[in-house]
Structure 1
Amino acid sequence: MAVLLDTDGLPRAERADAVTSAMHDSFLSSYIGPQGNGDAVSARMDEWTFGTTSLCQSAMRGIRVGRTAKQARSSPSPMLAIAVQGNGECAFSRDEEQHVLSTGQLIVYDKNTPYEFGWTGHGISLCLYVPLDDLGMSHDVIREACTRLHLSPLYQLVVDHIAGLGRNAVALASDPAAAGVGTASVELVRALVASAAHDARDRREAFATTLLTQIRAYIRLHLSDPDLTPEAIAAAHHISVRHLYKMCAAADFSLHAWITAHRLQGAHDELAGTTSQHRSIAMIAQRWGYSNPTHFSRRFRDAYGITPRDWRRMAGHGEQYSLVGGDMPGAGVRGSRGGSP
């Protein structure tokens, strides 16, 4: 976690300038100003990183934040912002439209168009920043979606996802699977935008992948569970095992190979990490869902061409090593239903 700003220890007269500086350093050029009584200005911003995405929690009082058309042109942003109001109310304006966001409401805004936020009382918001390049969607589709978010059946799903990230941000950001959580977040946002924009082709693709996206996110969060079975995954998503396999087959996605690859990759990275040297190989294997150390060693050697013990030794000495089969062995290969990860 990074604390981007905390004005509590600053004199009141310096707080607005501190917010301006923090916003310029972290979120591109914006204009900042007091909202109401300038003496009441306060702000704290915390940020967590999940792969290519980031989550920022802002607690604000008496602040206006925005970007002008000139600022958007001179300092373009590579990110799309998806904000959920966590507490209090926030006034938001865009394209001459005025909105008041209440607790639990979501808004998507492109930072390359003019906008303004304003907090008169104390408010907390969670903002997920997603790279526009990762979304791969046109500005026109995004612009249309921004005005129709509440019409999408995925609206509440994304609200709950971002709120869940905020509740568990510390643990998730420090987890080896943090990058996978970011990938799942990008896919959910893409599905929401496509659905809200009513782009027929993108919408069909979005709905076809949304459930699979949720399943991948669920698996990433439960990779350490030795009881992570197709039956458990299907039950958690209220579908049959048969439907689960049918959906995976349609997406050319092997459930077994994907789980195995991500478990092994997680163990591989942890074995090489300096913060896990006090853990035994058996402990690390168990953390990634392998209760049998011998089975884990065999799987690891089959995937990487080296034993876990030798890999830890080589990584500890900084030796170069080329992985057999790439960084994520088996992740894109269709496999059978049987076998143990």
Structure 2
Amino acid sequence: MLPESVFKTADLPVGDRFEAWTQRMGRTHAPMQLASDRAADYRAHQRMIGLGDVTVWPATFDHLVFRRTPKLIRQSDPEVYHLSLLLRGEGAAAWDRQEAAYRVNDIHTNCSSRSYEIHTGADPVSLVGVEIPRSLVALPANRADQVIGSRISGREGVGALLAQFLVQLASDTGSYQPSDGPRLGTVLADLVTAVFAGALDAEALLPPETRGRTLALRIKAFIRRNLGDQELTPARIAAAHHISRSHLYRLFQAEGLTVASYIRDQRLENARRDLADPALRATPVHAVAARWGFPRAAEFTRAFRAAHGVPPSELRRQAVAQEREARPEGRGPCAN
């Protein structure tokens, strides 16, 4: 599991909660003045996930006003960029006589070296925050700083890749080893750099290695969206991204992968997930296989057994047995 710490105001006496949250935010990003109309009994829950020099923090919290003032900047400036992917609620920011409002799936940006004021809505907000040293964003500082305050869409383009990466990471840290943290931090730094470059229309400024890793992430997302297509071939993938097949192969070789193995492993993992899903129990095994790009049942069974150690029908049987064992005694799935 990745290094992670959890903070919950519910673990504290009511009178200490808001002050503790203020201190937590000061350590998470940079010292700020915080205010809230819920300060008397503040509710907040935050996880901090360490990825080397980069930190990701999923959080849910009550109404809040953040103020980062010139005085606080002079007192302490860790020189980090902050990004927030808004998952629930709403917010607005003001800086340098500019203002922006944010909705769900927008990405907000700010910097510890600049003053700002941020307001969340009356209802609790949920977000995934990112703290990344300015030095890790591989763009000229004077250009990268022009992005600060911008509202970036997490629904399309590289912004969607960043949003998907953050949501997936926040939902499942248990599948990673602590040693994976720095590697994931590098991936995240590449995505943030690419998002900034896209906002500036300055992709040409990206270092070649960042362009390559970001392109590989785009291609993997394309593959995952098209796993059910039996015509998902290296030639089609390369054409969709305007590169040669040899370039495509080199991108995957740099990660110790082949295109074919990545497609196969993704298809098998999605099939495994569906076969273990109680809601899909009535779906025949061959239909699950076809959904994920395996039109021939025998081929699917061989590949599945090689990957998971059991045939698909046996995995489904094991999932049914585990569900029954976990069910309270004497209660069926429709009992009340």
TM-score by length of 1: 0.60
Structure 2 alignment gaps of length 5 or more:
224-230, 258-305, 308-336
Aligned position for 2:174: 171
- Spell out the pairing of 1:130-209 with structure 2 (5 A cutoff): 130-146=132-148, 150=152, 153-168=157-172, 170-174=173-177, 176-199=179-202, 201-202=204-205
Instruction: Give the C-alpha shift of residue 106 in structure 1.
Output: 0.7
Q: CA deviation at 1:173?
A: 4.7
Q: Separation in 2 of the partners of 1:241 and 1:96? A: 40
Q: Identity over aligned residues, as a percent?
A: 15
CA RMSD of aligned residues (A): 3.7
- Give the alignment of 1:259-278 within 5 angstroms: 259=256
Q: For the residues of structure 2 that align with 1:183 and 1:166, how far apart are their CA atoms?
A: 16
d(CA) in 1 for partners of 2:207 and 2:201? 10
Q: Which residue of 2 aligns with 1:30?
A: 32
- Contact 1:48 1:173 (C-alpha < 8 Å) held by counterparts: no
One-letter code of the match for 1:133? S
**Counterpart contact for 2:5–2:49, Cα < 8 Å:** no
Deviation readout 1:130-149 (Å, 9 max, x if unpaired) = 22222232332122223555
Task: State how 1:18-97 maps to structure 2 within 5 Å.
Answer: 18-33=20-35, 35-97=36-98
| Paired letter, 2:177 | S
**One-letter amino acid of the counterpart of residue 91, structure 2:** C
Report what 1:322 is aligned to. none
1:216-227 alignment runs, 5 A limit: none
* Secondary structure of 2:78 counterpart: coil
Whether the 8 Å contact between 1:141 and 1:199 is mirrored in structure 2 is no
SS in structure 2 at match of 1:44 = strand
Tell me if the contact between 1:30 and 1:68 (Cα under 8 Å) persists in the aligned partners: yes
Structure-1 separation of matches of 2:182 and 2:234? 24
- Answer yes or no: is the 8 Å Cα contact 1:49–1:173 preserved in 2: no
Q: Deviations over 1:193-241 (max 9, x none)?
A: 112112363169666653134468999xxxxxxxxxxx98948967589
Equivalent-residue separation in structure 2 for 1:188 and 1:28 (angstroms)? 23
Contact 1:40 1:62 in 2 (8 A): no
Aligned to 2:128: 126
- Residue in 2 aligned with 1:246? 246
Is the Cα–Cα contact under 8 Å of residues 59 and 124 in structure 1 kept in the other structure?
yes
Q: 5+ residue gaps in structure 1? A: 220-230, 261-289, 292-341
Query: Number of aligned pairs?
Result: 247
After TM superposition, the score normalised by the length of structure 2 is 0.61
Post-superposition CA distance 1:87-127 (Å, at most 9, x none): 11223222233333222111121121112333332111101
2-structure distance, mates of 1:150, 1:27 = 20
Q: Are 1:60 and 1:122, in contact at CA under 8 Å, matched by a contact in 2?
A: yes
- The answer on whether the counterparts of 2:6 and 2:48 sit within 8 Å (CA) in structure 1 is yes
- 1:162 deviates by 1.9
